[in-house]
Amino acid sequence: MTKKGMIDIQGLHVGRAALALLLVLGQAVAHAAEVAYPVKPIRVILPVPAGGTPDVAARTVLPGIASLLGQPMVVDNRGGAGGRIGAELAARAPADGYTLFVASPGSLTILPHVQKDAPYDAIRDFTPIGLISSGPFILLAHPSAQARSVKDLVALARAEPGRLTYGSAGNGSANHLAMELFRSAAGIELRHVPYKGAPQAVTDLLGGRIGLMFSSIPLAYAHVRAERLRLLGVSTARRSPQLPDVPTVAEAGVPGYEANTWFGLLGPAKLPRAIVVRLNDALVKAVRVPDIRAQLTTQGADPVGSSPGEFAAHIRVEYDKYAKVVKLSGARVD
């Protein structure tokens, strides 16, 4: 004779077993979906207009990643507001791997410090996938500035505080803060002239309307070769492979100085790990392709292809560094 209590207990055991099976099947289905990723084109948001240095760098490496993933990567340029528009759009996208974000210092690690009510958190609202490349700014002077070296520049600025002017891509931009860091490290006073973008600043530097500027290599190096601008140093801690004969700013007279520009791939927060691994694997392999490496190098960048963890650590260091520089400079764009 079967006891009622025994039937209840067996039923409970059967129910638990069925529940466990359902959970396992659910996890298997989710895992299968991640492993199959991607199954459709991927949108990649760039928080800059087409044609600028970040856009060119992204369009150099994204086709290689797309080829390895087997799906197109569609660039969506969302420039404006110092990168805020594109970054906010990326931060609010679904965490399914079909909306990604190519960031540089301006939109990710600078803007949250210069805008009081920035609509995203650089650390909390994104998933780092990998650092694509990094590279130097070059310190340029118009010949009329009478500075043939970093030491000359520092001496001129100390002799006449505030007389020398420098241009940037805008208040709070990466090259603005690179110069503020230089000014602080050298103990000099310079006058800032912000522009709507780096090309406009280069134009005025060529015309002698400003005396100094930090610029990316591709944007201005042709003018150096034509002797229309004078190259004083590179901003990174080590000499640039593209300009091995040009000293670093630190070597040339401002010990400890370092600033760089970089580009990296991110997704929205809580992007599934399997998708992050898949994307990072494709990114690293793409950056190692000789033709892609050569193109990045020609653009003045050092190809990197980091792990997600390395990129996350890099973002944290950059974020903390610019918090101090922004506080020092008082830069605001509100």
Residue 167 belongs to domain with CATH number: 3.40.190.10
Q: Which helix (H) or strand (E) holds 319?
A: helix 308-329
Same domain, 87 and 155: no
- In the listed set 218, 234, 250, which residue is the last one of a domain according to the structure? 234
In the chain, the percentage of residues whose pLDDT exceeds 70 is 89
Helices (H) and strands (E) in the chain, counts: 12, 10
Write the CA distances from 294 to 61, 133, 260, 300, 302, integer angstroms.
11, 12, 20, 10, 10
pLDDT in tens, 239-291: 998 899 999 999 999 999 999 889 999 999 999 999 999 999 999 999 999 99
Confidence (pLDDT) at 170: 82
Selected residue with higher pLDDT from 149 and 300 = 149
Separation of alpha carbons 206 and 220, rounded Å: 10
Same domain, 127 and 47: yes
Measured in whole angstroms, the distance separating CA 281 from the mean position of its chain's CA atoms is: 19
Judge whether 173 lies within some domain: yes
Judge whether 252 lies within some domain: no
Separation of alpha carbons 317 and 267, rounded Å: 19
* Residues facing residue 216 across a β-bridge: 137
Same domain, 228 and 144: yes
Same domain, 202 and 60: no
Judge whether 48 lies within some domain: yes
pLDDT in tens, 83-132: 889 999 999 999 999 999 999 998 899 989 888 788 999 999 999 999 99
pLDDT value at 228 more than 60? yes
Same domain, 49 and 110: yes
Q: Which residues contact 260 (CB under 8 A, 6 or more apart)?
A: 134, 135, 136, 137, 235, 236
Q: What is the CATH number of the domain that holds 299?
A: 3.40.190.150
What is the average pLDDT across 16-25? 47
Judge whether 284 lies within some domain: yes
Judge whether 302 lies within some domain: yes
Same domain, 112 and 166: no
Which of 18-22, 46-50, 127-131 is the most confident on average?
127-131
Confidence (pLDDT) at 32: 44
Which of 176-185, 195-204, 271-280 is the most confident on average?
271-280
Contact 257, 235 (CB under 8 A): yes
Same domain, 296 and 324: yes
Q: Tell the residue number behind the tokens 């609010």, with chain if given.
A: 92
Judge whether 7 lies within some domain: no
pLDDT value at 43 more than 70? yes
* Residues facing residue 263 across a β-bridge: 133
Confidence (pLDDT) at 80: 78
Judge whether 26 lies within some domain: no
pLDDT value at 1 more than 80? no
Contact 249, 235 (CB under 8 A): yes
pLDDT value at 56 more than 70? yes
What is the largest distance, in Å, between two alpha-carbon atoms of the chain? 107
Same domain, 183 and 217: yes
Same domain, 161 and 305: no
Same domain, 130 and 180: no
Same domain, 277 and 317: yes
Q: How confident is the model at residue 326 (pLDDT cuts 50, 70, 90)?
A: confident
Total domains in the chain come to 2
Separation of alpha carbons 47 and 101, rounded Å: 8
Selected residue with higher pLDDT from 150 and 21 = 150
- In the listed set 217, 234, 251, which residue is the last one of a domain according to the structure? 234
- pTM of the predicted model over 0.75: yes
Confidence (pLDDT) at 50: 82
In terms of residue numbers, what domain contains 154?
136-234
Judge whether 291 lies within some domain: yes
pLDDT value at 44 more than 80? yes
Confidence (pLDDT) at 35: 57
Task: Of 12-16, 38-42, 248-252, give the lowest mean pLDDT range.
Answer: 12-16
Same domain, 127 and 48: yes
What is the average pLDDT across 60-86? 93
* Residues facing residue 166 across a β-bridge: 192, 212
pLDDT in tens, 282-323: 999 999 999 999 999 988 889 999 999 999 999 999 999 889
